[in-house]
Amino acid sequence: MKLKRISKYTIVAIFFFAALFVLESCSSKNASAAKPGAVLWGENCIRCHNAPSPAAFSDEQWETITLHMRVRASLTANETEKVVEFLKMAN
Amino acid sequence: MKKVLLIMMVMGTMLFAQSKPGQSRFLVRGYAHSGLEIYKDESSFVGGSFNPIFLWQQSDRLLFEAELEFELENGETHLALEYANMSYILNEYATLRLGKFLLPFGTFAERLHPAWINRLPSRPLGFGHDGVGPARDLGIELRGGLPLGDAKMNYSVYVTNGPSLNDGLNPAIEQEEAGMLLYDNAEDNNKNKAVGGRVGFLPLSNSSMEIGFSGQYAKLGDNESKYEDLAALLYAVDFSYVSRVSFLNGVIDVKGQLNGVNVDNADYFNVEDSSMYSFTNNSQSYYAQLSYRPAYVSNDFFKDLEFVGRYSALTFPDGALWESDQTQYAFGVNYWIDWRTVVKLSYQVSDAGGHGNEGEEAGESTDAILLHWSFGF
C-alpha cells in the first residue's frame, strides 16, 4: 500500500521533469527534411540506444544497417539517405 | 546439441560468404548478456543469452532479418526463433513486412527489450514472457514514417495469427491459467486473424518526444469450441522523451508504457474443485522509467556512468486462479564501456501486493541485487 502511494508521486515527478525538459527543447525549429545527416543521426539513434560512432562499421555495412534501422525505426527515405551519407563521410 | 552444432556450421559458412564481393550484402549483428543475481535465500550466476541477428540486403529495397536466441535455462540450452521476416520498401513512406516479426505493440518489445538497450538488467513487470500483450507474431505488416511539417509520425498496420486462449481443458497447458492468452503461435487455432496497429507521433521538431497508441483485436477460441467467438481487445500507450539537458551536462531518457488486455467474459472449468467459474478477464501492466547520463561532463569516468530508476506494476484479473497484483521498484547504475557494451548494477524490490503468487505469501516483498553485463555487436 505504501509502495502504491509512493508510485503516484514518482510518476507525477517523472512527468513534471519531462515537461520541463520538453519546454527547453521547444526552441529547436528545424524541419526534418532540412536537417543535415549528422543531426538526424544524433536525434534518431538515441531515441532507443546510444548513437554509434561512424567508425563502428564499414561503408558497406552502414548501408545494410541503415536500411535495417529504416524499417525498425520507421525512418523516412530522406532521413535514411542523409544519415548513411553522413556515416560514410565521417567514417 | 545437434541442432546447435548445425546452426553453428551454417553461421560459419555464412560468415565465410560475407567476404565474397557482389550485390548481396550479409551481416551478422546481435547481442549477448549474462550476470550475477542475488536474492534473499539464493544467488547464482545466470547464463543470460546469446542472440545473433542475421541481415541480408538483396537490394536497396529488399531486406531479410532474423534473430535466434540461445538461452541457458535449468541446465539446458534453449534455442528460439525470435523473428525471421522479409521487408520490401514500397515507396518513400511505406514498407511491407512478411514473416515472423516483433510486433509494434507499444515500443518495449519491438525496440527496447535487447539487453544492450534495456537500461536495467530486468524487464518491467508484465513485459517479459507470459506478460500482458504480445511481443512477436507471424503475419504481414505495412509500416512507415511520414513528415508532418516540423513534426513526424510513424504507423503500422498488421494482420497476424493472433493470440489463442488457454481454455483450461488441455492438460498439456497449465489448466489453472484458464482465461490467459497464449501468444507467439506458430499456427493459428482458428480462421480468424488478429488485426492491429500502432500510430506514433513525434510532435517536437528535434524528434525527442514520441507518443504511441497501439491496438489489436482478435478472436481467440479453437474452431468449433464453446470459446470460438470469444474475442480480446488489446491496447497499449507508450511514451518516450530523450534529450540533452544543458544545465545537467547530460542526457535524460524518460520511457513509459501501459499495456491492457480485455477478454470477453466466459465460464471456465476449475481444476481445483471441478466447478465452473467466471471472472472479469482484464489484465494490465505498466512501467515508467527515468535515466540520466552525465555524458557532457569533462571527467572521463563520470561521462560513462548512467543512473536509472523504474517503477512497474502488473495486475492479473481478480477471481482468476492466476490473479495477481504486483509492483516493483528498480534502481540501477550502469557503466558504458562503449556505445553497445554495458555493465549494469541494480537493486530491485518487488511486492506481491494483496495476492500472493505461487510460492509467495500475500504482501511478500522480494529484494534482489542484479549485476549484468551486456554486449552488442
Which residue in A71, A83, A49, A69 sits closest to B242, CA to CA?
A49
In A, which residues are within 8 Å of B240 by CB distance? 47
Angle, vertex CA B374, rays to CA B373 and CA B377, nearest 5:
145
For residues B188 and B179, give the distance between their C-alpha atoms in angstroms, rounded to a whole number.
18
Roughly what angle, to the nearest 10 degrees, separates helices A59-72 and A77-90? 150
Q: Residues of B numbered 229-268 whose beta carbons fall under 8 angstroms of chain A's beta carbons: which are they?
A: 240-243, 245-246, 251-252, 254, 256
User: What residue spans define the domains of chain A?
Assistant: 2-90
For residues B131 and A60, give the distance between their C-alpha atoms in angstroms, rounded to a whole number.
39
Confidence of residue A31 (pLDDT cuts 50, 70, 90): low
Name the average pLDDT for chain B.
91
Mutate to test the interface with A, among B60, B86, B148, B243 (most CBs of A within 10 A): B243
Q: Are B260 and B235 contacting, i.e. CB atoms less than 8 angstroms apart?
A: yes
The answer to whether B55 contacts A68, with C-beta atoms less than 8 Å apart, is: yes
In A, which residues are within 8 Å of B92 by CB distance? 76-78
Q: What is the dihedral of CA B73, B314, A9, B292, to 10 degrees?
A: 30
Domain range for residue B110?
Answer: 2-376
For residues B79 and B89, give the distance between their C-alpha atoms in angstroms, rounded to a whole number.
30
Name A63's Cβ contacts closer than 8 Å, sequence gap at least 6: A84, B25, B57
The 3-state DSSP class for residue B322 equals coil
In A, which residues are within 8 Å of B156 by CB distance? 74
Q: Is B95 on the interface with A (CB under 8 A)?
A: yes
Confidence of residue B363 (pLDDT cuts 50, 70, 90): low
Of the partner residues A51, A53, A76, the one whose CB lies closest to the CB of residue B147 = A76
Q: What is the DSSP letter of B39?
A: E
Q: Is the model's pLDDT at B223 over the cut of 70? A: yes
In A, which residues are within 8 Å of B329 by CB distance? 3
Q: What is the pLDDT of residue B244?
A: 92
In A, which residues are within 8 Å of B144 by CB distance? 74, 76
The 3-state DSSP class for residue B24 equals coil
Q: Residues of B numbered 164-193 whose beta carbons fall under 8 angstroms of chain A's beta carbons: which are they?
A: none
Per DSSP (E only), the strands in B58-192 are 62-73, 76-91, 94-102, 136-148, 151-160, 164-165, 181-182
For residues B219 and B193, give the distance between their C-alpha atoms in angstroms, rounded to a whole number.
7
Interval A50-84: pLDDT, tens = 999 999 999 999 999 999 999 999 999 999 999 99
Confidence of residue B358 (pLDDT cuts 50, 70, 90): very low
Which residue in B9, B8, B28, B10 sits closest to B18, CA to CA?
B28
Instruction: List alpha helices for A1-91, DSSP H.
Output: 2-25, 37-45, 59-72, 77-90
Q: What is the ipTM of this complex?
A: 0.87
CATH number at residue B368: 2.40.160.10
Interval B224-262: pLDDT, tens = 899 999 999 999 999 999 999 999 999 999 999 999 999
Q: What is the pLDDT of residue B224?
A: 86
User: Looking at the 3D structure of chain B, how many domains does it have?
Assistant: 1
Confidence of residue B278 (pLDDT cuts 50, 70, 90): very high
Phi, psi of B338, rounded to the nearest 5 degrees: -150, -170
Distance from the Cα of B224 to chain A's closest Cα (Å) equals 38
β-pair type (B209-219, B194-202): antiparallel
Phi, psi of A35, rounded to the nearest 5 degrees: -80, 145
Q: What is the pLDDT of residue B273?
A: 87
The 3-state DSSP class for residue B135 equals coil
Give mean pLDDT, residues B309-331. 96
Interval B71-123: pLDDT, tens = 988 888 999 999 999 999 999 999 999 999 999 999 999 999 999 999 999 99
Mutate to test the interface with B, among A17, A23, A45, A48 (most CBs of B within 10 A): A48
